[in-house]
Amino acid sequence: MRSLRTGLSLTSLVAGLALLLTAPAAHAADTPLRDLGTAKGKVIGTAVTGSKLTGAYGDIAGAQFSSLTPGNAMKWGSVEPTQGSFNWTEADQIVAFAQAHNQQVRGHTLVWHSQNPSWLTNGSWTSAQLGTLLQNHISTEVGRYKGKLAAWDVVNEPFNEDGTYRSTLWYNGLGADYIANALTWARAADPAAKLYINDYNVEGVNAKSTALYNLVKSLKERGVPIDGVGLQAHLILGQVPSTLQQNIQRFADLGVDVAITELDIRMTLPSDSAELAQQKADYKAVTAACVAVARCVNLTVWGFTDSDSWVESTFPGQGAATPYDANYAPKPAYYGIAEALGGTSTPPPTGACGASYSVGSQWNTGFTGTVTISCSGASLSSWKVTWTYGAGQRITQAWNAGCTQSGAAVTCVNASYNGTVPDGGSVSFGFNASWSGSNPVPTVTLG
């Protein structure tokens, strides 16, 4: 019968493809965030836990990010738990991993009120002793990684919400100039590392960020080495400050770099699809604000997976704050970052399987068809596809499925050997059918 083929081209028939919930390409085909960032002049980072840098966690950390920040490993309490006795194991491991993956490292953090060793916080020190302890700490740690780190969060969280200085071991013992001194000591220990002051709730224009702005301005006027400000960006769902870009810009205009250093966006658990969609919009907005300002040089998430986030243990009832779920599947938030960086990927429908119908070749009395069942984020162990023919078409023969037709209604079920459709996979079956008059493509239903 094929000798009776008309001149209809195959391609014009395939153009009649009916798509229903067809799964898009696998995630692996998406351009990694680090490459999208490079194209925009942005370094894309994540906080990491050194002991986890193997398997899927290590694969994603290495493939998707161009910067690592040790989540805890470089804090004073981690590196010098007992006075004079140092533990660099995890910090060294993270630096080695970064070097092996052509990544920057942001050192975090040298001077903070939190996560200090108890020998330090419980000691009673004169101002002079405290200054010597701090100088030695900075010289030792910055010196150890001299030439290997792109940046240091030298001072972390120096301000209260109203813009006054936070009352800490350092402020109380050394006065506000502990900040200038720490920066100067850090510069001496590694002249190549960019030196930052880092804080939270300074993402929008407010009293706290204005205090930071005034501090940076005065440090620059005094010739104190300061290269950048870190906006931590531990945000709440739906609350990206409207003045984020304006705030980044005003720091840039002061002549310093800006980094989004600890981005996460938390929500009330359990998360639902509406929250995850809002989170995508929020991640996209933050990334877009950084993209819009040339001196916003680095955007770092504070843990890339919900299984490695500080949020759930810190904010009861809140979580799901990172771009990957606890099983390392990218969430809509991941695609929010990617899209703001110019990526064109679209998130796969979560937990969807679907079927598509296409006409292959067609001749004056018959045609061949193919139906493909695809799954993404879900799987099937058996399947049934149904459709209704609108113009008298009749199935004459099927392969790789059992098809029956009653009137216009067609039902096809899997063969004994192809009922399984794995997550990310597909199964196809084919058929011959007759037609006359017209051959419209039906809507197919899976299930």
Alpha-carbon distance 290 to 43, whole Å?
11
Q: What's the angle, vertex CA 68, arms to CA 348 and CA 117, rounded to 5?
A: 130
Please say whether the beta carbons of 215 and 228 come within 8 A.
no
- For the chain, give percent helix, strand, coil, nearest 5: 35, 30, 40
Q: How far is the CB of 87 from ligand XIL (least distance, A)?
A: 16
Q: How far is the CB of 250 from ligand XIL (least distance, A)?
A: 22
Tell me whether residue 156 or residue 298 sits nearer to ligand XIL (CB atom): 156
Tell me whether residue 142 or residue 231 sits nearer to ligand XIL (CB atom): 231
One of 141, 203, 262, 275 is an active-site residue; which one? 262
At 197 the three-state DSSP class reads: strand
Tell me whether residue 234 or residue 366 sits nearer to ligand XIL (CB atom): 234
Alpha-carbon distance 385 to 431, whole Å?
13
Alpha-carbon distance 176 to 281, whole Å?
39
Q: How far is the CB of 314 from ligand XIL (least distance, A)?
A: 7
Amino acid at 122: N
Nearest to 48 by CA among 323, 302, 230: 302
Q: How far is the CB of 290 from ligand XIL (least distance, A)?
A: 18
Please say whether the beta carbons of 70 and 108 come within 8 A.
yes
Please say whether the beta carbons of 70 and 48 come within 8 A.
yes
Q: Note the residues at the interface with ligand XIL (CB under 6 A).
A: 71-72, 156, 232, 262, 310
One of 80, 90, 141, 157 is an active-site residue; which one? 157
Alpha-carbon distance 394 to 432, whole Å?
9
Is 262 annotated in the active site?
Answer: yes
Q: Does residue 270 have a cis bond before it (omega within 30 degrees)?
A: yes
Which helix (H) or strand (E) segment is 426 a member of? strand 426-434
Tell me whether residue 71 or residue 158 sits nearer to ligand XIL (CB atom): 71
Is 312 annotated in the active site?
Answer: no
In sequence order, the β-bridge partners of residue 412 are 385, 403
Please say whether the beta carbons of 442 and 387 come within 8 A.
yes
Q: Does residue 22 have a cis bond before it (omega within 30 degrees)?
A: no
* DSSP letter string, 74-118: TSHHHH-SBTTB---HHHHHHHHHHHHTT-EEEEEEEE-SSS--H
- Number of neighbouring beta carbons within 10 Å of residue 432: 16
Tell me whether residue 22 or residue 116 sits nearer to ligand XIL (CB atom): 116
Question: In the structure encoding, which two tokens stand for residue 323, read together?
Answer: 């771009």
Tell me whether residue 32 or residue 71 sits nearer to ligand XIL (CB atom): 71
Nearest to 339 by CA among 49, 40, 139: 40
Tell me whether residue 71 or residue 323 sits nearer to ligand XIL (CB atom): 71
Number of separate helices (H) and strands (E) present in the chain: 14, 18
At 363 the three-state DSSP class reads: coil
Q: How far is the CB of 410 from ligand XIL (least distance, A)?
A: 56
Residue nearest to ligand XIL (CB): 310
Tell me whether residue 72 or residue 370 sits nearer to ligand XIL (CB atom): 72
Please say whether the beta carbons of 73 and 94 come within 8 A.
yes
At 245 the three-state DSSP class reads: helix
Q: How far is the CB of 11 from ligand XIL (least distance, A)?
A: 54
Q: How far is the CB of 71 from ligand XIL (least distance, A)?
A: 4
Q: How far is the CB of 447 from ligand XIL (least distance, A)?
A: 44
Q: How far is the CB of 249 from ligand XIL (least distance, A)?
A: 23
Tell me whether residue 156 or residue 374 sits nearer to ligand XIL (CB atom): 156
Question: Which amino acids are annotated catalytic?
Answer: 157, 262
